[in-house]
Amino acid sequence: MRVLVTRPEPSADKTAAQLRRRGHQPVLLPLMQAHHQIDTLRRALAEAPRALVVTSSEAVRVLASLGQDLSPLLALPVFAVGTRTAEAAQNLGFTNVLVGGGDGEALADRILAEWDNGRDNGLLYLAGTPRTPGLEARLNAAGLKLAVAECYRMLPIDHHPTRLQAAFDPWPDVALLYSTETARHFVSLPPMNDDKRRIKKMRLLCLSKKIAETLPPDLRASAVWPSDPNEDLLLDLI
């Protein structure tokens, strides 16, 4: 299968390697790129949080790029949205990593089960922009305070027409969509508005149902998602 990988670098390279091991042909077309906001993270860490919350490996990469000694932080509890994010935190040296259920709401449930609601301002969420509100909404509804440091921003990539032509020639059999913002950018690409017949023949594999729901109604019939927002399960759908 010719599989279009739309997730940002460097995660896209890891996905491509998995696809090759499975016998597929990956086509890399990252649609978003991360802009790290280092000063914002430094200011937030100066407030001495008691635990960290991360919903993306990108947040861990921002920590890694601080250029300072992280040893005072490495014993802190880290609530990670899923196994890949947890592995990234462990690889950076964190020793107390607790894994959520793969999305923001499930991670909030794990935090509520593990964390003392009476600890004001103890949790620091290393967040990206834009993001879905599920994690923060559920914690706020439960009365748990959450400090938020928007330490990276995901910006769309406007590829040159020749890059787009190469990615869509020949037309991919499958496209992988990992976020709602990526899905929105994907459907706005010029090739996606050229030949509706070819578009409807392409399978759209979304990491979650929420991502699929951001697609236009005429494309939702082509969208599927795994039972849990896990990349291995996503690739099993190919």
Provide, rounded to the nearest whole percent, the portion of the chain with pLDDT above 90.
75
pLDDT band (50, 70, 90) for residue 120: low
Place of tokens 């759908």: 237
**pLDDT tens digits along 39-98:** 999 999 999 999 999 999 999 999 999 988 899 999 999 999 988 899 999 999 999 999
pLDDT confidence tier of residue 161, bands split at 50, 70 and 90: very high
pLDDT tens readout for residues 167-200: 999 999 999 999 999 999 999 999 888 766 777 7
Q: Where are the beta strands (DSSP E) in the chain?
A: 2-5, 25-28, 32-36, 51-54, 77-80, 96-99, 123-129, 147-156, 174-177, 203-206, 223-224
What is the structure's pLDDT at 95? Answer: 96
Q: Examine the pLDDT at 118 and tell me if it is beyond 60.
A: no
Amino acid (1-letter code) at residue 28 = L
The CA radius of gyration of the chain, in Å to the nearest whole number, is: 19
**Domains recognised in the chain with CATH numbers:** 2-31+157-236 (3.40.50.10090), 34-154 (3.40.50.10090)
Q: What is the pLDDT of residue 33?
A: 94
Mean pLDDT of 16-38: 96
CA atoms in the 13 A half-sphere facing the CB of 178? 23
Q: Mean pLDDT over residues 1-9, rounded?
A: 95
